[in-house]
């Protein structure tokens, strides 16, 4: 039983610490809220947060790819 708890906590940590996983979880939560008749502001908030997590992570990835690495011979 301890191994199952440990595995569950590690999986939840991986989802919440990963930007894609967190955004995916929030978007799925918004879709669940639409099907469960949650208030519109709740589902909209979850969906907007999920999409904004994805957009921010893509922007940071793009910004880091534009930055020179500082290694010799790798100038752009």
The pLDDT value recorded for residue 2 is 82
| pLDDT (0 to 100) of residue 60 | 86
Distance CA 28, CA 49 (A): 11
Beta strands in 21-70 (DSSP E): none
Quick one: tokens of 66? 């534009």
Phi, psi of 74 (to 5 degrees): -115, 25
* Rounded Cα gap, residues 61 and 76, in angstroms: 17
Tally of CB atoms within 10 A around 43:
19
Calculate the dihedral angle through the C-alpha atoms of 33, 58, 22, 38, rounding to the nearest 10 degrees.
-10
Q: What is the chain's pLDDT, residue by residue, as a tens digit (76 residues)?
A: 788 888 888 888 888 788 888 898 899 999 999 999 889 999 999 999 999 999 998 898 888 888 776 666 555 5
């Amino acid at each position: 039983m301890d191994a199952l708890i440990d595995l569950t906590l590690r999986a939840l940590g991986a989802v919440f610490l990963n930007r894609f996983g967190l955004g995916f979880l929030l978007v799925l939560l918004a879709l669940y809220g639409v099907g469960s008749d949650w208030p519109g502001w709740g589902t909209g908030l979850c969906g907007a947060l999920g999409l904004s997590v994805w957009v921010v992570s893509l922007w940071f990835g793009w910004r880091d790819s534009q930055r020179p690495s500082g290694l010799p011979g790798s100038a752009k």
